[in-house]
Amino acid sequence: MSETERTFVMVKPDGVQRGLIGEVVSRFEERGLKMVAGKFMQIDEDLAHEHYGEHEGKPFFEGLVDFITSGPVFAMVWEGQDATRQVRKMMGQTDPAESAPGTIRGDFGLDLGRNVIHGSDHEDPGANEREIDLFFDDEELVDYERIDETWLYE
């Protein structure tokens, strides 16, 4: 059996501007994942630099910071078995042109720099915790049971 985990997800400024927050939330809820935190916010430059810190010094770094601070985002924490891997699969490839139809990026993304959504990397074991801690305080994470959980997992 897979392990229950929490994963960080963010609808980026392009997704917010296009009115896709509800669509993204619905897809994850329909999949059976549980939102345990959500926040509509404007990212400042300091948070953007921390969030994209691993890319500092790369030629595209400033563009990432400029874009993520250009408008509001919707930050979330989702919980479920293998939540990070499930979310990444549902998001599609980073480049929307490489994303399959039916994925969020495959259905709504048109450009690598405007790919609607960010999710923690499942191949980086510390990414979830680091990103959740950047965007949420412990008291903002809500523990609860959904009434359908017994129907989702063995």
148 domain-assigned: no
Q: What is the CA radius of gyration of the chain?
A: 15
Residue 79 is inside which H or E element, if any? Answer: strand 73-81
Range of the domain at 104: 4-143
Residue 1, pLDDT above cutoff 60: no
150 domain-assigned: no
Domain count, the chain: 1
41 domain-assigned: yes
pLDDT computed for residue 154 by the predictor: 83
pLDDT band, very low/low/confident/very high, at 91 (cuts 50, 70, 90): very high
Tell me the average pLDDT across 116-128: 88
pLDDT computed for residue 126 by the predictor: 86
48 domain-assigned: yes
Residue 145, pLDDT above cutoff 80: yes
Q: Which long-range contacts (CB under 8 A, 24 or more apart) does 145-151 make?
A: 146/34, 148/32, 149/34
151 domain-assigned: no
The CATH number assigned to the domain holding 133 equals 3.30.70.141
pLDDT computed for residue 2 by the predictor: 66
122 in active site = no
152 domain-assigned: no
118 domain-assigned: yes
The larger pLDDT score, comparing residue 16 to residue 154, is at: 16
Digit-coded pLDDT (tens) for 35-85: 999 999 999 999 999 999 989 999 999 999 999 999 999 999 999 999 999
Rounded to the nearest integer, the mean pLDDT of the chain is: 94
- For the whole prediction, is pTM greater than 0.85? yes
> Across the strands, what pairs with 41?
73
Give whole-number Cα distances, 7 to 19, 45, 84, 85, in Å.
22, 23, 5, 9
Annotated catalytic residue within 49, 51, 55, 118? 118
